[in-house]
Every structure is written in C-alpha cells, then in structure tokens.
Structure 1
Amino acid sequence: MADGSETAISWHDSIAPAFRDGYVRSPGFRDRLRAWGTLIERYAQPGDRVIDAGCGAGTLSFEAAKIASHVDGIDGAERMIELARATATDRDVGNVSFDVALFETLSERAGQYDLALCSSVLEYLPDLEVEIARLTALLRPGGRLILSLPNGRSRYRRFEALAWRLTGRPRYYRHVRHVPSSTEVREILKRLGFVVLETIYYADPPLPRFVNRLAGGPRYRKTMFAMVASRG
C-alpha cells in the first residue's frame, strides 16, 4: 500500500519513459506484448470503438488501433499520456486519442465501447470487483473485455510478496493491493453477468530457465494472466 509521499500514479509518472521502453528491452514486457497482441488481434474487430483503461504510454492502444475504428486511451499518470500523444504524432496515427482520467470518472462513458482493455492496472486500485464493474459498464451489448492481473497462483508472486515484507523490495509492491487467482476474477465476472471466453498465462519470472521449469505448468509458473470475457 502506498505511503503518503508516493501513490501508484506518481510512481508510474516517475518511471514513464522506462516503462515505455520496457516493451523493447525487457523479456517480460516483450512477452506481455506478444500475449496482448495475440488477444487484441483475436477479439478486436474492424469498426470497434475501444477504450484502453490505464493505457500507460499507449503501447496496447496502438496495437488495437491497427484493427479498430477508434481507440480512447486513458491513464492517471500525466507523463504517460504525454508520451502516448507524442508517439501518436510521431507515427501519424489518427484513430487514437489520449486523456488523463481516473476510473471513477468513466461513468459518463457507459455503454459507449465494443472492447475494453485493461492491462496491469486493477492490482493498484482499492476494490477489485468495483473496478471491474466500472469496466464492464463501459461496454455495449455484446462488448468484450480483456484484462490482466498478477497471477496469484504463481509461486514467484508468493516469493515476491514475502520479499517485500522482509526487505521492502521490489519497490512497486508497496502499491499493489490485489494478486488474485484467475478463478477469483472469473467469479467476479460471473457475478457481473459476463462469460469468460479465454484465459492465458504469460511472463516467466526473471530466474534461470531450469528454475522456472521446477515451478510446474503455466498456471503456477507464469507471473501474469489475461482474461477475455463478454456479456452473457
């Protein structure tokens, strides 16, 4: 949980350029982009209006913009939005827009989108079910939601939580409030009237490959999961 001097938003503001560049430099981030790129290609449709809630520097927004009619990216971190807008200008991408906004301000957009994306944001927010409900409310009938969270079944995630309690590292963990299992998120979506279409696990821990193999299958080894759902 954040202390009074730093919030999840201010921390992401402070690391914005490094976060953007991680999709090139970090194996974990590259795995995230591969996984999300596959899901966006599978579930985005021509003509869709898409919202990327917690878009960061816009990496996934630009992936969706290759297919969809228009993508709205929102994020609470101003520096992230500045980088996303600059990239849109540099690449001459005209079917994206980026705005500084928080989840609690999104009610005025209810029912406006065909597809909602939310990558690695929900773990920082106060109430997981409330925030997922905010996302589902954005969708039109038949709309699709793709979200990702840290994998609570990952053996490495359990080690990470212990390391934070003992050492205060990794630093970002002070802001993390939720590390659920995919089953927990599936149940939330079910209560909200959504049907889960697909769940994938991705991103190996930053450990030697032979150590990762000892953790078991993807459900217990991979550090992230992404879930796709639509209104039932």
Structure 2
Amino acid sequence: MESIVNTEQAEAWNGYEGRHWADHHDRYDATNSGFNEPLLESAGIGAGDRVLDLGCGNGQITRLAARHGRHAVGVDLSEPMLARARSVAAAEGVRNVTFERGDVQVHPFETGSFDVAVSRFAVMFFSDPVAAFANVARALRPGGRLAFVTLKDPAGTDLGKVLAAISGLLPGWQSPSTPDRPGPLSLAGPDRIREVLTRAGFAGITVTPVEAMAELGSNASDAAEFFSGWGPVHHHLAGADPAPVRTALEAVFRDFDDGNAVRLRNTAWLVRADR
C-alpha cells in the first residue's frame, strides 16, 4: 500500500477537485498547454532518457515526454486523474508510459533511475517541498535535470484582474496560498524557489519568467461556467450567492473575448536545475 503524507492534498485531489480536472481534462490542457514547449525544451529530453513527471495529473506532459524519451513515469495523488491519464494514453497509443499513484515526498523511487524530472503546475502542492525535491534528487542520476513551471503572483496580470472581480463576492476568499502552505502560489517567489531547491540538493538553478495564452472557453458565458468550477472558486461558492459571481465573471471575461475564444495571458516561472 502506497505511503501518503500529504493527506490534505490527497483528499482534495481524490474528491471534487480531482474529478473536475479529470472530467474537464481537455479544458485544463487548453488552459495550460501553452507552457508545454518551453518546459520540454528546458528539460532537453533525449531519445534514451527516462523521465519522471511530478504531479502528472491527466498526463499530457507525461505523454509528450514519452514521445521524446525512452520511457516516462507519471506520479500523482489523484486516482480520478490517473485513470484519465491511462485512458488517454491508451487511446493515443502511447505505450512507453507508466502512471503510478504516489506522494512524491515519500514515494520509493529507485535511486538514480531517472535522467530528467519535469512538472507543469504541480510542485506547488507539496506539503514539504524540501523533502519532496530531495526525494526527486535521489531519484535522478548524478547530473540529471529538473525542469518545471510554477505560477507567478497573479497581481497585475490577466488572471489577477479576473480574481479581483470576484474576490469581494466570495465569503472568506483569500489568496490561493502562501509560501508556508501548499497551493498555487507556494512557489511564486524566485528566492523561495532557489532556497527550496538548494536545500534539496540541486545546483545550477535558473528561474525565468515565461508567458503563454490560456484559453478558458468559447465565449464569456462558457468561460464563466468553467472558471466557476475551478476548485478554489467552487469551494467559496458554497457559502455565496452564485448569481453575482457568475455575472461578474462573464463581465470580466468579455474583456478577453477575441471573437473566437476567451484567452488570458498567463504568467509563470520556468525553473531549471541540475542534480
């Protein structure tokens, strides 16, 4: 039986949050896939490389990594998303891929068994990031590479404008996370990223700002419905009147509707480090 120490996140990603991501995997990939190319380019995956995808979710990055390398292993806490990842990989005929349920912080990876570790917007959810990244470092061969993308602080960005439009309508709304607890913004600061990775045994750390367009829906109404289901918003809607929130979301998303889709410019840190 696998060991799980990040119990709060395991509960969330095996409950509503994980089901919503699994059920809407194509929508979340449309939101985040603009970062795939810079992430994979930074990882530099070669034909003989074994790749570890941290917090693989629905498995898009794992499948792409498998197409670049010899074999890719995706690890995640969420059974709903792992089931989706396996089904999509099978449908796409990607055979050199494996998906495992596990907590990266304590998962018993074979020492030095991977050449590259990657992650797209998942490492922010480690309950103890130093321990988790140290375990990843142990799983990488000497000279192995780590590459991931993590959210920047959304203040002043397109996403920040959307959140500002609804924060006053959601009881108890707070920033999705802070550096001292797991969540979307726990690794939003470059100094924090460097501190964590250095303590975990990584060197040659670079933190570079990157941007990509995120497609949230076909029009403002569609985007508002989808965004209302995003975990943090859905959670706070339980104690609020959804009508004003939905109206505010539709209004702000009209500013980003280009006539074909609602697209926001998303911002992130691209991080590269060596074992």
TM superposition score category, shorter chain reference: 0.7 to 0.9
The whole-number CA distance in structure 1 between the counterparts of 2:28 and 2:153 is 23
Counterpart for residue 180 of structure 1: 188
Tell me the number of residue pairs that the alignment of Structure 1 and Structure 2 aligns. 214
TM-score normalised by structure 1 residue count: 0.75
The whole-number CA distance in structure 2 between the counterparts of 1:126 and 1:180 is 15
The whole-number CA distance in structure 2 between the counterparts of 1:63 and 1:172 is 32
Q: Any idea what the Cα deviations from partners look like across 1:35-58, whole Å, max 9, x if unmatched?
A: 334434xx1111111111111111
The whole-number CA distance in structure 1 between the counterparts of 2:19 and 2:25 is 12
TM-score normalised by structure 2 residue count: 0.65
For 1:226, give the aligned amino acid: L
Whether the 8 Å CA contact 2:207–2:269 is kept in 1: the answer is no
The whole-number CA distance in structure 1 between the counterparts of 2:109 and 2:8 is 31
Q: CA RMSD in A?
A: 3.5
Whether the 8 Å CA contact 1:49–1:68 is kept in 2: the answer is yes
Whether the 8 Å CA contact 2:13–2:77 is kept in 1: the answer is no
Counterpart for residue 39 of structure 1: 42
1:188-199 aligned at under 5 Å gives the runs 188-191=196-199, 192-197=201-206, 199=208
Unaligned runs of at least 5 residues, structure 1? 210-220
Counterpart for residue 58 of structure 2: 57
Q: Any idea what the Cα deviations from partners look like across 1:117-155, whole Å, max 9, x if unmatched?
A: 122122222223222222222110110001222113753
Counterpart for residue 120 of structure 1: 121
* 1:10 Cα deviation from its structure 2 partner: 2.6
- How much identity, in percent, do the aligned residues show? 23
For 2:205, give the aligned amino acid: V
Q: 1:196 to 1:161 in 2, by over 3 A?
A: farther
1:7 pairs, out of 7, 12, 21, with 12
Counterpart for residue 135 of structure 2: 134
Q: 1:202 to 1:183 in 2, by over 3 A?
A: farther
Q: After TM superposition, which residue ranges in structure 1, 4 or more long, deviate above 4 angstroms?
A: 157-166, 168-172, 204-209
Whether the 8 Å CA contact 2:149–2:271 is kept in 1: the answer is yes
* 1:71 Cα deviation from its structure 2 partner: 0.5
For 1:182, give the aligned amino acid: P
Q: 1:158 to 1:128 in 2, by over 3 A?
A: farther
Counterpart for residue 236 of structure 2: none
The whole-number CA distance in structure 2 between the counterparts of 1:199 and 1:167 is 33
